[in-house]
Amino acid sequence: MLPHLRAFGRSLTGSADLADDLVQETMLKAWKARASYVPGPSSMKSWAFVILRNCFLSQMRRKKFTAEYDELAAERLLVAPDDQDDSLHLADVQRALLMLPVDQREALVLIGAGQLSYEEGAEICGCAVGTMKSRVSRARTALQAILDSGDMPLRSGDPLPASEAFASIMGDVDQLTGNGSGGDWD
């Protein structure tokens, strides 16, 4: 379950380090609340995804009015990337995903990349199945519009050159769908 939680956490935060912290917090909360888990109506995996999502949303609410200075991001703004001649890369998809609203991003990742059913995704997000379908549809449309416009900021947590981004993203997808080896994402 940890690779799936890490993949979902990474899709929400956009950073492997922040995702690992989020998963660690999720597991601590799950462990503390283990007595309240009732098998049956929901799977352990769904229960953990809900905890992770709630941890992420709590962090977002706390950080709403603060801005962090990222020295690495500031340095990257002054340095041109090495693969400027390449057109659309999967790194662009990663950045475009981060531009989507959180509810749309998590819906698209759970249903599209995570291959969960709409019902499972709705349960994890605490919404109706129709709402989940609507979020996925709006996310796909918005993602396509962002990619078509090409207007994406540099991503502060993406040190990979474009030539390695494909392998990295495909590894993330494998981890999210359970086809990976379960190794570290870094």
In the chain, alpha helices (H): 2-13, 16-32, 44-62, 71-77, 90-99, 102-108, 118-125, 129-149, 162-177
> pLDDT: is 162 or 44 the higher one?
44
Residue 86 clears pLDDT 50, i.e. is over it: no
Name the more confident of 107 and 170.
Answer: 107
For 7, the token pair is: 């993949």
pTM value?
A: 0.48
Percent of the chain predicted with pLDDT > 70: 66
Q: What span, in angstroms and rounded, lies between the C-alpha atoms of 110 and 49?
A: 10
Q: Which domains does the chain have, with CATH numbers?
A: 1-64 (1.10.1740), 88-154 (1.10.10.10)
How confident is the model over 5-9, as a mean pLDDT? 89
User: Range with the lowest mean pLDDT among 7-11, 45-49, 94-98?
Assistant: 94-98
Of the listed ranges 22-26, 63-67, 137-141, the one predicted with least confidence: 63-67
